[in-house]
Chain A
Amino acid sequence: MLRIPCPHCGVADEAEFRYRGDASVTRPPADAGVDAFHDYVFLRDNPAGWHLEWWQHAHGCRATFQVKRHTVSHVIAWSGWPGEAPP
């Protein structure tokens, strides 16, 4: 059971949240073309290590936020709002 730190509600069980994937990819501008959107939708770094990812507090405040988590140790180093950068 991961314990996820929601920036609004504090730490809560993983079961309260919905995972939304890699937060390091950015949606390209509308005119960027198929290749750029292909990379955005499909290609991932998928690191065995620190991973910046989206979580939604679906059974809480419904906020969407970023979590910096280690995909091997599951250690969570940081969570923050969209647009914020981890230290």
Chain B
Amino acid sequence: MSSGRYSGFRLLREAMAGHQGWRRAWHPAEAKPHYRIAIIGGGGHGLASAYHLAKTYGIRDIAVLEQGAIGQGNLGRNTTIVRSNYFTAPNIRFYDAALQGWERFEQELNFNAMVSQRGTLNLIHTEGQRDLFARRANAMALEGVDAEYVDPAGVKALVPLVELTNARYPVLGGFLQRRGGTVRHDAVGWAYARAASDLGVDIVEHTGVIGITPGHPITLSTTAGPVTAERVLLAVAGHSSTLAAMAGFRLPIETYALQAFVTESVKPVLDLVVTYGGGHFYASQSDKGGIVFGGATDGHNSYAQRGSWPQVEETMTAGLTLMPALSRLKVLRQWAGVMDMSMDGSPIVSDTPVPHLYLSTGWCYGGFKAIPAGGLVAAHLVATGTPHPLAEHFRLGRFRAGAQIDERGAGPYPWAH
């Protein structure tokens, strides 16, 4: 049964009925023995892929197999930032397609995920950084994507909290993408699950995959018994290597913990997303009033959804160096997600050595913003067997060919990306 359309009118009507009339946002399904397509992983990319397969490619015989409850991996653990500021044209095109997907999200999915294009501001602190970020902004502008330079006075006007001159690295200016911003992360998974479920996709929670037997169909051993599928998509973020091992191959992926933090709620003080160029730090203020912020990964392989102290210290000191007036603000929580860090810092949406088994992985710590386009290109790949034009450069074979997409030039070291 469909969850029914959401609207202000419906809210009013349900309020008069004591809110007893709301139905499940997505229908809980049990795994059937066979599907045309099985998607392993009920996170942002898995659910968006299911939605696009059903909506865009007309395939409804789909299961999303999630070992726990949907959206409890990195989808529920990120800092909710969306943007499309990349250096290379193929990446700009892909991530801007995602940003355009966010712009359509609420109307398309009839779910308010609070897509808020508040702007993302990347601060610069050296002349070298000015040139580097200008290069990125110029590349974006050439692709028709919005990017603008902001001088120090403009930075102060946009983010009064930023300390311009006294910090270790003075602020020389910044580059602003006005269309960047934040999206309420949890709502994204709920919205895709609801839309996919309404289209007939089985959202199968609490069903883990414990074995993959290649063949045609592919047989998945699950905690609820065997499931066969004509085609299978792995969309399990940090756990990609574990699933690939079940299917008999290795990936250019290492799994790292990335921490995030939120403060207590305060009245609005930070209108846009700001990133610090003198250290690894980014922050925004949620609609609820908490400052949500994060930094770099913990820097070593980890499947533990918790972080280590050195990165806490690094993130906290960077944040206060940038915005010293937040010193007395209380930090409420820190948590960590486990990231599928690829060897070049870029995603892998690809076929695999196992026929009919496809991958959407390597999103590193930029997977959230990519979800609308990531779902589309993965759905295209699984439905057609060929890469989507926006994602041809994300194929697995690039490592053997030497066509790494190393935007930072950090080399094949996951801890450096």
Interface residues of B in 364-407 (CB under 8 A from A): 399-400
In the complex, the answer to whether B308 meets A14 with C-beta atoms within 8 Å is yes
Chain B residues close to A by CB (< 8 Å): 239, 241-242, 245, 250-255, 299-304, 308-310, 343, 399-400, 412-415
B43 to chain A, nearest CB (A): 17
Given the complex, which residues of B lie within 8 Å of A72, measured CB to CB?
303-304
In the complex, the answer to whether B399 meets A38 with C-beta atoms within 8 Å is yes
B295 to chain A, nearest CB (A): 14
A selection of 13 A-B contacts at a CB cut-off of 8 Å is A1-B310, A15-B309, A19-B415, A21-B301, A21-B414, A22-B254, A41-B412, A43-B250, A46-B250, A46-B251, A46-B255, A51-B301, A72-B304
In the complex, the answer to whether A1 meets B252 with C-beta atoms within 8 Å is no
> What is the bound-complex CA distance between A77 and B284, given in angstroms?
40
> What is the bound-complex CA distance between A22 and B253, given in angstroms?
12
Binary interface encoding of chain A residues 61-80 relative to chain B, with 1 for a CB under 8 A from any of its CBs, else 0:
00000000001111000000
Q: Closest 9 interchain pairs by CB?
A: A46-B241, A1-B309, A42-B252, A43-B250, A48-B303, A19-B300, A15-B310, A42-B399, A72-B303
A72 to chain B, nearest CB (A): 5
In the complex, the answer to whether B253 meets A46 with C-beta atoms within 8 Å is yes
A71/B302 contact (C-beta < 8 A), A1-B308, A1-B310, A35-B400 known: yes
Tally of A interface residues using CB under 8 Å: 26
Given the complex, which residues of A lie within 8 Å of B301, measured CB to CB?
21-22, 46, 51, 53, 71
In the complex, the answer to whether B300 meets A44 with C-beta atoms within 8 Å is no
In the complex, the answer to whether B239 meets A53 with C-beta atoms within 8 Å is no
Given the complex, which residues of A lie within 8 Å of B241, measured CB to CB?
44-48
Asked whether any CB of chain B lies closer than 8 Å to the CB of A11, the reply is: no
Binary interface encoding of chain A residues 24-68 relative to chain B, with 1 for a CB under 8 A from any of its CBs, else 0:
000000000011001101111111100101000000000000000
In the complex, the answer to whether B245 meets A45 with C-beta atoms within 8 Å is yes
A44: nearest chain-B partner, CB-CB: B254
Given the complex, which residues of B lie within 8 Å of A22, measured CB to CB?
254, 301
B359 to chain A, nearest CB (A): 14
Asked whether any CB of chain B lies closer than 8 Å to the CB of A9, the reply is: no
A80 to chain B, nearest CB (A): 18
In the complex, the answer to whether B304 meets A21 with C-beta atoms within 8 Å is no
Given the complex, which residues of B lie within 8 Å of A85, measured CB to CB?
none
Contacts A44-B251, A46-B253, A71-B302 known; 10 new A-B pairs at CB < 8 A: A1-B308, A19-B415, A21-B415, A39-B250, A43-B250, A44-B252, A44-B253, A46-B301, A71-B304, A74-B304
In the complex, the answer to whether B302 meets A42 with C-beta atoms within 8 Å is no
B344: nearest chain-A partner, CB-CB: A42
> What is the bound-complex CA distance between A39 and B304, given in angstroms?
26
> What is the bound-complex CA distance between A44 and B249, given in angstroms?
10
A14/B412 contact (C-beta < 8 A), A46-B301, A71-B301 known: no
A62 to chain B, nearest CB (A): 18
A71/B343 contact (C-beta < 8 A), A46-B253, A46-B255 known: no
In the complex, the answer to whether A41 meets B343 with C-beta atoms within 8 Å is yes
In the complex, the answer to whether A21 meets B308 with C-beta atoms within 8 Å is no
B411: nearest chain-A partner, CB-CB: A41
In the complex, the answer to whether B255 meets A48 with C-beta atoms within 8 Å is yes
A25 to chain B, nearest CB (A): 10
In the complex, the answer to whether B400 meets A43 with C-beta atoms within 8 Å is no
A77 to chain B, nearest CB (A): 15
> What is the bound-complex CA distance between A74 and B241, given in angstroms?
18
> What is the bound-complex CA distance between A86 and B304, given in angstroms?
23
Given the complex, which residues of B lie within 8 Å of A53, measured CB to CB?
300-301
> What is the bound-complex CA distance between A11 and B78, given in angstroms?
33
> What is the bound-complex CA distance between A2 and B299, given in angstroms?
12
Given the complex, which residues of B lie within 8 Å of A47, measured CB to CB?
241-242
In the complex, the answer to whether A74 meets B302 with C-beta atoms within 8 Å is yes
> What is the bound-complex CA distance between A34 and B241, given in angstroms?
22
> What is the bound-complex CA distance between A31 and B252, given in angstroms?
22
> What is the bound-complex CA distance between A34 and B242, given in angstroms?
25
Question: Which of B239, B242, B252, B413 contacts A43, CB < 8 Å?
Answer: B252
A67: nearest chain-B partner, CB-CB: B300
In the complex, the answer to whether B255 meets A71 with C-beta atoms within 8 Å is yes
Given the complex, which residues of A lie within 8 Å of B399, measured CB to CB?
38, 42
